[in-house]
Amino acid sequence: MFTPEHARIADDARLDAVRWIGEAILNMDASFDRVTRLLSHLTGAPLAAFSLVGLEKQFLPSVFGVEELEENDDVGDAFSRACIEAGDVLVVRDAMIDFRFADSPMVIGAPYIRFYAGMTVRAPNGQPVGTLFVVDTKPRQLEDGDLAAFADLRAQLEEMILLRTLSVRDPGTGLYNRRYFEELLEREYRRSARNSTPLTYMSVDIDRFGSYNDECGAVAGEHAIKAVSAALQECFGRGGDVVARIGGATFAILLPDTDPKGAELMAERCRAAVEDLDLAHDGAPDGLLTISLGVVAGVPVPELGGVEALVRLADDALGRAKAGGRDRAEHVILGAER
């Protein structure tokens, strides 16, 4: 029997996919604009858009159309949510006589939406994350041929999303890869410096992984890396927190708006989560696979070296953690190291 708990789990999975896709497709507006522009011309509708539908509001990675509609981030939101609930396609020929939308503020007031046609856009894992849609301020309909071409454009959009997510993810673990993580780190560092908000960066390494591979074999080594990746990922629940695989057994963690005290708590959570995996390692003093962490936290000061200096401080702290016995974290507070 489908219960409210099942519904909550399903919604959480969908929202996780929305967040995942949203992070992956940053700075792809121009690519998506080609799809929405073609869709507008194809249907003759004054506005076409691609939306990611979150919990409280939608995000529009691409909008093509008339200015008075483009400027409203909520345009089509209620319709797009209904489209996702419908499962695939939603066509509303005249919203004024459709009981689901007749009282909507966007129907009875600006921008006076009368027509909506949308198709659900899915993430590579199958979760519905948003819609590709058109709206008009007058009633209309779409012919079967138009809907078929609409579906082709939706498929093209989903393929673009798939290729983008593959390009930013590590194939072995599903974590972000090094190249994309460096983009995120640079962007978040600038934001934190500009707004004088704290930032935490961690360099993480699996302890004695070379000997673990020799002892247990390459297959067990890959299993261990995947298990550690999942354990680290599960330590964080906020949208901006990022875990990436930087190298073979090396990871990096980025925590926006996290001060030194929060960094200390999260580093210990990560260390304990890996220890709790209970992966046997005969070459370790306690007989378990563990991690060491180098943690830097505080408000960034670009004049003192920028992202390169931040990473160097974390790597140096990681070296001290390893030299100090491993299975521990060494911390640096930005500003206090000078």
Strands 291-298 and 329-333: parallel
**Three-class DSSP category at 328:** coil
Q: Count, in order, helices (H) and strands (E) of the chain.
A: 11, 10
**Is there a single domain that holds both residue 213 and residue 142?**
no
Is the per-residue pLDDT at 2 higher than 50? Answer: no
Task: Look at residues 121, 147, 168 and tell me which one is the last residue of a structural domain.
Answer: 168
**Is there a single domain that holds both residue 136 and residue 251?**
no
Residue 178, Cβ density class (10 Å: 0-12 exposed, 13-18 middle, ≥19 buried): middle
**Is there a single domain that holds both residue 68 and residue 194?**
no
DSSP H helices in the chain: 4-24, 29-43, 67-70, 77-86, 105-108, 144-168, 178-195, 209-216, 218-233, 260-275, 306-323
**Is there a single domain that holds both residue 142 and residue 184?**
no
Which residues have C-beta within 8 Å of that of residue 212, sequence separation ≥ 6? Answer: 206, 220, 221, 224, 281, 283, 289
Residue 135 belongs to domain with CATH number: 3.30.450.40
**Is there a single domain that holds both residue 252 and residue 292?**
yes
Place of tokens 């695939």: 88
Provide the 10 A C-beta neighbour count for residue 11.
11
Q: Is residue 107 part of a domain?
A: yes
Which tens digit of pLDDT belongs to each residue from 107-149?
Answer: 998 888 999 999 999 988 899 999 999 999 999 999 999 999 9
Residue 251 belongs to domain with CATH number: 3.30.70.270
Q: Give residue 254's Cα distance to chain centre.
A: 13
Q: Is residue 256 part of a domain?
A: yes
Which residues have C-beta within 8 Å of that of residue 232, sequence separation ≥ 6? Answer: 204, 243, 251, 253, 270, 273, 274
**Is there a single domain that holds both residue 9 and residue 156?**
yes
Q: Is residue 173 part of a domain?
A: no
**Is there a single domain that holds both residue 108 and residue 184?**
no
Say how many domains are in the chain.
Answer: 2
Which tens digit of pLDDT belongs to each residue from 45-93?
Answer: 999 999 998 877 788 889 998 664 545 556 778 899 999 999 899 999 9
CA distance 262 to 243: 16
CA distance 235 to 120: 31
**Is there a single domain that holds both residue 92 and residue 202?**
no
CA distance 335 to 298: 8
Residue 109 confidence (pLDDT): 87
Strand partners, 332: 296
> Range of 308's domain?
178-333
